[in-house]
């Protein structure tokens, strides 16, 4: 169970970090295209949270 949680949280951490990076790049190219719809802080918190779970459960 703990192993699965670590695996899932690791994958979610990779996913959210990649998504955050992609959104930041899009935001740099076309300002406000993402921020108008979504506050990237939420995604950042999600990435930190999944990363922390992975580190704890590893």
Partner 1 sequence: MLKPFLRKWPFLFKFRLFLGLIFFILILFFLYLKVIPFGNITYSRDYVLDLRSGKGFIYGFTPSERIDLKSGDGPRMIGDPIYFSLFTPRTFDKAKLTITYRDNLGLDTSVIESGVLADNIVWRYELKPIDNKALDYLMLRWHKSEGNGYLFLQRNEDYSSPAEWEKDLAQGELKACADGLEKCLAVYNFSPNYNYQITNYQPSVPLVLDKPLRGSHQFFVYLKNETLHLEFSLVDLNQDLKPAPIDIILSSGDKIITRQALADANPQPGSGKTEEKRVILEQKDLPAGVYKVEVKITNDMVIKKIVSSVDHLSFINKVWPVSNEGPLTIYTDANYLQAKALNPASLQTLKFAGRDFKLDEAYKQFYFKTDSLAKDKEIKLVKDDIVLENNGVFAWSSSSLFNPTLPKVDRFFSVNNKFNYIIADYKKPIEEEGVKTATAEFNLKGIYRENGKYSFIISVPGLKTEDGTDDNLEIYKIKIELEGRTLWQKIWH
Q: Under the rule (CB under 8 A), what is the footprint of partner 1?
A: 7-8, 11-12, 14-15, 18-19, 22-23, 26, 30-39, 42
**Alpha helix segments (H runs only) across the chain:** 2-29, 40-57
* Gap between the Cα atoms of 22 and 18, Å rounded: 6
Contact between 6 and 54 under an 8 Å Cβ cutoff? The reply is: yes
- State which residue, 39 or 52, has the beta carbon closest to partner 1: 39
- CB of 54 vs partner 1, minimal distance in Å: 14
Which is closer to partner 1, CB of 33 or CB of 45? 33
């Amino acid at each position: 169970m703990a192993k699965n949680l670590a695996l899932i949280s690791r994958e979610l951490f990779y996913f959210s970090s990649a998504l955050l990076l992609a959104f930041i790049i899009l935001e740099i190219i076309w300002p406000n295209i993402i921020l108008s719809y979504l506050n990237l802080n939420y995604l950042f918190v999600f990435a930190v949270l999944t990363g922390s779970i992975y580190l704890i459960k590893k």
